[in-house]
Amino acid sequence: MANLNIDSVKARTFDAIVIGSGMSGGWAAKDLTEKGLKTLMVERGRNVEHIKDYPTTNMMPWEFPHGGKVPYDVQQANPIASRCYVFKEDAMHFVVKDVEHPYVQEKPFDWIRGYQVGGKSLLWARQTQRWSKYDFEGPARDGFAVPWPIGYDDLAPWYSTVEKFAGISGNHDGLPALPDGEFLPGYPLNAVEDHFRKHLKQSHPDRHVISARCAHLSEPKPVHIAQGRVQCQNRVLCQRGCPFGGYFSANSSTIPWALKTGLLTVAPNQVVQAILYDEQKGRATGIRVMDAHTKTTTEYYAPILFVNAGALNTNLILLNSTSSRFPKGLGNDSGVLGKYVAFHNYSARVSAEYEGLKEFTTDGRNPAGGGYVPRFRNVFKQEMDFLRGYATSFGASRGRVQPDSGFGPDLKQQLEKPALTPWGVHAGMMGETIPKETNYVRLDPTRKDEWGVPLLSISVAYDDNDEKMKQDFFTQFSEMFTQAGFTNIKTNDSHQAPGLDIHEMGGVRMGQDPKTSMLNKWNQLHACPNVYVTDGAAMTSTSTQNPSLTYMALTARAVDHAVSELKKQNLKTT
């Protein structure tokens, strides 16, 4: 990045700056450059170029020195990262090591991070569902957090925009609680997933099993071919990075698209210390970064800034951006910055077996993972003794019997021609949690990281509502599984800490009222409108959907607004 070291303000001035290069940052860069803005995208981690920097992507299982497992020493040195399901020998290079980026846990919180160009978009589980009007209306109806300043209709066209470009597979299911979108063909349910779907339709007409909607190119369109992506090849090795671009990531899609405009500068290894605020002009003017390796600091300038550092790091940057105008952090007149952090409750599973449909198994691999049961609790009105509800991932598969005793030629033969097990089924809860003032992040008062940024101190925990919801999930799915003829039903409470869901949200929430929220309906800071926050930090509530699609739709909508405001000179006023 030698060209960035030119010591002149002009060379360090852009039309827009995007902080972060993941799911939402990549989208911001794409849309800003498409609209003609010379854009700088800063990323604290190293560069990862599509295909070129996927070192394990075409490795065969036997080529991994430890058969895919993480060495014990590495696990011991990284207890937090080790709890993440992608932290295996094939993808551990994309997950932040505990020791390299410490933070403070006031309460147990597994903060899983991906510091590289593309961020966690390389690693995500690719599940993509729209929010419905019932999700946006939740806080107002049920009296928690603050009302969303937007509704489904505000976001719907932007969902469409994102879905068409990213490529989302799914079926038109016609469910009010889970609006349909612009879909590529959905992946099929297997025999037992379908059995459960049919059964549920009879026993509980208000509950549905649908094919999971996911960001895979089941049938690429011209816009995907133009991105250099082709049909998903059902490898299901996505976490390594996909040489086909079969799933959506910033690396395979938005970033190369933005680079093609010639207007994007990607600056990896740049740790943002703070957003610069000019008291005279009354607006943010740029950022101060420290090079991750050389430790030199540089300032960059632009009339608009997009903060997409990943929910909690976005909080960190704003909290650390202090001035005499904003002593408690940029835009934090209300004092709510860092508060009302929430997440998804992924701590509950129900598993079982099915002795039926043994005449079928599966062939190939399903990138969607299986089925999805949209939220059915408290959707249209409050019915339970807990607020909100849960969506559920549902899947079935058959394994191979491995004899647990015996050896010699017999064992060899059994391994070579293994019998099929019965079907195993599993349901995983994805519960909405309620944002509360007591769930917060703040700057550690004394400790800093090696780039001069205070450590983030996290205090987030479950509450009684989460516990009640979890018990309901256990009861309901045990019952539904029994009715569907499944046996050996087991409930499993993982007691996992918040954070491991990798769906942390909030802290810079949207809201109508500047006294109780940070962002307006366009994702601008109420008190500093040329700064937009469009990652998970902006979320007023969490609902039950996997959040990435909504972050991208919010980003697309906000960029459109920012560029039109810029044209009207509304963001340059002093």
Partner 1 sequence: MNRRLVIKNLTWLAGTAALLPGCLSQTEREQPASMPLKHVALNARDENLLTEVCETLLPRTNTPGAKDLHIPRYVLKMLDDCTPPKDQQTFVGGLKQFDDVARKQLGQAFGASSAAQRTGLLQRLDQQPKGFPDEVVAFYRAARQLTIDGYKGSQFFMTKEVVYELVPSRYNGYFPVSQLNLAVPRHGQS
By CB under 8 A, name the binding residues for partner 1: 58, 60-62, 65-67, 69-73, 187-191, 193-194, 233-235, 237, 358-367, 397-400, 402, 405-409, 411-412, 415-418, 420
Task: Tell me phi and psi for residue 431, to 5 degrees.
Answer: -95, 140
Measured from the CB atom, is 86 or 508 closer to partner 1?
A: 86
Give Cβ neighbours of residue 404 (< 8 Å, ≥ 6 apart): none
Distance CA 345, CA 66 (A): 32
Measured from the CB atom, is 226 or 411 closer to partner 1?
A: 411
Distance CA 501, CA 143 (A): 25
Contact predicate 209/369, CB 8 Å: no
Of 367, 476, 396, 397, whose CA–CA distance to 431 is shortest? 476
Kindly state the smallest distance separating residue 110's Cβ from partner 1, in Å: 21
Q: Give strand pairing partners of 40.
A: 17, 265
Kindly state the smallest distance separating residue 71's Cβ from partner 1, in Å: 4
Q: What is the DSSP letter of 252?
A: I
Measured from the CB atom, is 113 or 240 closer to partner 1?
A: 240
Phi/psi-derived region of residue 181, left when phi > 0, alpha when psi is between -120 and 50, beta in every other case: beta
Kindly state the smallest distance separating residue 504's Cβ from partner 1, in Å: 30
Kindly state the smallest distance separating residue 75's Cβ from partner 1, in Å: 9
Measured from the CB atom, is 281 or 412 closer to partner 1?
A: 412
Per the structure block, which two tokens stand in for 109?
């919180």
Contact predicate 215/62, CB 8 Å: no
Distance CA 354, CA 335 (A): 53
Measured from the CB atom, is 151 or 243 closer to partner 1?
A: 243
Kindly state the smallest distance separating residue 409's Cβ from partner 1, in Å: 5
DSSP assignment of 104-125 equals EESS--------BTTGGGGT--
Measured from the CB atom, is 89 or 504 closer to partner 1?
A: 89
Measured from the CB atom, is 20 or 186 closer to partner 1?
A: 186
Cα 341 off chain centre by: 15
Distance CA 520, CA 570 (A): 15
Kind plus residue range of the DSSP H or E element containing 458: strand 454-459
Measured from the CB atom, is 63 or 463 closer to partner 1?
A: 63
Measured from the CB atom, is 69 or 515 closer to partner 1?
A: 69
Query: Which residue is listed with tokens 């983030």?
Result: 456
Cα 95 off chain centre by: 14
Measured from the CB atom, is 395 or 435 closer to partner 1?
A: 395
Kindly state the smallest distance separating residue 367's Cβ from partner 1, in Å: 8
Torsion of CA 151, 152, 153, 159, to 10 degrees: 130
SS3 state at 412: helix
Measured from the CB atom, is 384 or 415 closer to partner 1?
A: 415
Kindly state the smallest distance separating residue 198's Cβ from partner 1, in Å: 13
Kindly state the smallest distance separating residue 167's Cβ from partner 1, in Å: 17
For residue 190, the tally of other CB atoms under 10 A from its CB is 21
Measured from the CB atom, is 6 or 411 closer to partner 1?
A: 411
Q: What is the DSSP letter of 313?
A: H
Kindly state the smallest distance separating residue 497's Cβ from partner 1, in Å: 22
- Alpha helix (H) ranges present in 138-254? 138-142, 152-166, 191-203, 222-226
Measured from the CB atom, is 67 or 262 closer to partner 1?
A: 67
Separation in Å, CA 514 to CA 241, 316, 508: 41, 20, 11
Separation in Å, CA 536 to CA 33, 427, 432, 509, 541: 22, 25, 14, 9, 10
Cα 231 off chain centre by: 23
Kindly state the smallest distance separating residue 366's Cβ from partner 1, in Å: 5
Kindly state the smallest distance separating residue 169's Cβ from partner 1, in Å: 11
SS3 state at 475: helix
Measured from the CB atom, is 262 or 406 closer to partner 1?
A: 406
CA-atom Rg of the chain in angstroms = 24
Kindly state the smallest distance separating residue 359's Cβ from partner 1, in Å: 6
Kindly state the smallest distance separating residue 493's Cβ from partner 1, in Å: 24
Kindly state the smallest distance separating residue 371's Cβ from partner 1, in Å: 10
Of 503, 489, 573, 493, whose CA–CA distance to 545 is shortest? 503
Distance CA 302, CA 536 (A): 23
- Alpha helix (H) ranges present in 3-151? 23-34, 72-77, 79-82, 133-136, 138-142
